[in-house]
Amino acid sequence: MDEHRLKCFIAVYEQGSVSAAAARLHMTQPPLSILLRKLEDELGVTLFDRSGHRLAPTAVGELFYLRAKALQASLQAMRRELREAEHGARGTVRIGCATAASLFIMPSVMQHIAEQQLNVTAHVHEGETGYMLQRLRERNLDLIICRSQYIAPEFENRVVMDEPLRVALPPDHPLHASDQPIHIEDLRNERFMLHNSLLGTGITDMLMRSCHEAGFSPEVIYTGVETLPMLLMAQKGLGIAFTPERFSTLGLQGLPALKPLADTRLRTHLNVIWHRHHPLSRAAERLKEFVVQRFA
């Protein structure tokens, strides 16, 4: 049995005669009658009572009509879903995200999905970069958007959302009184809270290099993966923290003011990483291109 036979049976059932169904299907009556007989022979049942002037479906024919309509709708839905998947308008995209990516990139991604009326689910995972890279190797993630720039032969890496660093000071810190950007040497006596950078290069590597160039090694009292806890600790007067400029736009209560730094080299960015040898689905490729075009 094929879809054409289903379509012909449904037409005969709904029109009540072979001649009317043939006209609807733009075919002649004899081939349609032969097709209907072959369908009954294949199924081993009688679908229509032919004793009267008008074809009447048997009880089996009534049941087959219900199943045929459901199967026809299922086939049409399958074709639509396959076309959508082929054009990146359907599917699930698994994205490993740093906190900043979840805060500042994913809302725009979700808005893009809604505006384009895509049937795409973004399945976001947050975690340490090394863990996410391993999941990318194992094909458990499609993309990673992380802070550390990680270069490896098997990975593609595109820079997005480049921005300057700012420093978070305790509320009563004397440097708040100045309207001028803060020089790194002004922080030599501070207690630093820094980001972990176990893999690749990140904010901490850049800051440590800048401190050494200024002639001191900072006192590091805390290292962590997440930015928000360090900002909360800076607000409590436990030390100073460094964060991308965009965190100043959050407007959350309990976060410290972020002061600009004088050294314009102290910038950071997010990176979109995907596996060079694992082809992306069309949906994943579509979201990746949106992120690169929107934020690069």
pTM of the predicted model, to two decimals?
0.67
Residues 167 and 260 in one domain: yes
Residues 151 and 63 in one domain: no
Lowest-confidence region among 26-30, 78-82, 85-89:
85-89
Q: What's the confidence (pLDDT) of residue 88?
A: 59
Count other Cβ atoms within 10 Å, centred on residue 135: 16
Residues 253 and 169 in one domain: yes
Taking residues 65-79, what's their average pLDDT? 84
Whole-number Å distance between alpha carbons of 41 and 107:
58
Assign residue 167 the CATH number of its domain.
3.40.190.10
Domain of residue 54 covers 3-86
> 86 or 218, which is more confident?
218
Residues 20 and 139 in one domain: no
Q: What's the pLDDT band for 44 if we cut at 50, 70, 90?
A: very high
Residues 182 and 263 in one domain: yes
Residues 136 and 189 in one domain: no
Q: What's the confidence (pLDDT) of residue 87?
A: 62
Query: pLDDT tens digits for 209-223?
Result: 999 999 999 999 999
Query: pLDDT tens digits for 184-197?
Result: 999 999 999 998 86
Domain count, the chain: 3
Q: What's the confidence (pLDDT) of residue 16?
A: 87
User: Per-residue b/e over 51-74, b at no fewer than 16 CB within 10 Å?
Assistant: eeeebebeeebeebbeebeeeeee
Taking residues 69-74, what's their average pLDDT? 86
- Among the candidates 64, 86, 108, a domain finishes at 86
Residues 171 and 197 in one domain: yes
Residues 70 and 210 in one domain: no
Assign residue 15 the CATH number of its domain.
1.10.10.10
Residues 16 and 52 in one domain: yes
User: Per-residue b/e over 195-215, b at no fewer than 16 CB within 10 Å?
Assistant: bbbebbebbbebbbebbeeee
Residues 177 and 241 in one domain: yes
Work out the mean pLDDT of the chain and round it to a whole number: 89
Measured between alpha carbons, how far is residue 221 from residues 192, 194, 241 in Å?
6, 8, 11
User: Please, are residues 160 and 269 in contact by the beta-carbon 8 Å criterion?
Assistant: yes
Please name which of 127, 136, 87, 139 lies closest in space to residue 289, comparing C-alpha atoms: 87
Q: What's the confidence (pLDDT) of residue 85?
A: 62
Residues 44 and 128 in one domain: no
Residues 182 and 257 in one domain: yes
Taking residues 27-44, what's their average pLDDT? 91
> 167 or 90, which is more confident?
167
**Residue in the structure block whose two tokens are 């458990």:** 140
Q: What's the confidence (pLDDT) of residue 140?
A: 92
- Among the candidates 86, 120, 142, a domain finishes at 86
